[in-house]
Structure 1
Amino acid sequence: MEQLIYKTNAEIIKANNKLSKLDENLLFYQKHTETVIADANSSIGEAVEHADTTSQALETKLQQAVICGEGGTVGLRSYYSEVEPETSIQQHQQVGERMEIQNWLTSRKWLDLW
C-alpha cells in the first residue's frame, strides 16, 4: 500500500512539473505574440501615415494642376475671343490670387505635418 502511495505521489510530481513547463512555454509564446502584434500595429500605423502624407501631396499637386489649367483657359479665352482687356486682366489676377492662396495652404499643410 505504501509503495502505491509513493508511486502515486511520484506521478503527481511529474504531472506538476509538466504543467509548470507548459505554463512557462505558454507565457513565452504569449509575450512573443504580444511583441509580434505590437510590431505589426506599428508597421500598419507607419504605412497609414505614409499613405496619408502621399495622399495629401497628390491632392495638393492636383489642386495646383487645376489652378494652372484655369490660368491657361483664361489665357486662351483672352487670346482667342474678343474679351475686353480689363476683363482679361481681372481674370488673370483672380487666377494669380488663387495660386497665392493655394501656395499658402500647401505650406500650411506641410507645416502641420511636421
Structure 2
Amino acid sequence: MDVITAPVFGASDKPIRMLAIWRDVTEARKARDEAEAARHEAERLAERLSAVLESTMDSVLVVDRSWRISYFNIKAMRLLQPASQARNENRTSSRPREGRAGAVLSAADKPRN
C-alpha cells in the first residue's frame, strides 16, 4: 500500500481536515521487481557471453544489419589493427594470415539485401 496524506486548510488558513489517499501498488511493485530481475539476468548472461567470446582462440567480429561493427574480441582487434601499431608492439602473431582478413573485410563491404 502507498499512502499519501495532506492537510486540508479552511478559510482561516488553519488545517481543518486530513486528506488520505490509499493506493494498492502490489502489481506495480511486482512488475518492477520482475523487470529488475530480468535486467540482472540479462546482464549476467551478457557477462558470461563476453567471457566466452574473449576466451576463445578465434577472432570474433559481430556486425549489425548495416555492416557496422558492434563487437569484436581481443583476438579480432589484434588481427585487424594497423601494421604500424603491430610493429610498435613487436607482435608477429597479430598479422593476419594471407586471405583470412581479406575474406572478412570483403564480406563486410558487401551490402545485404
Structure 1 or 2, whichever has the larger Rg, is 1
User: Normalising TM by the smaller chain, what interval?
Assistant: 0.3 to 0.5
TM-score (norm 1): 0.33
Higher relative CO (Cα under 8 Å, sequence separation at least 6) belongs to 1
TM-score (norm 2): 0.33
Structure having the larger proportion of residues in strand: 2
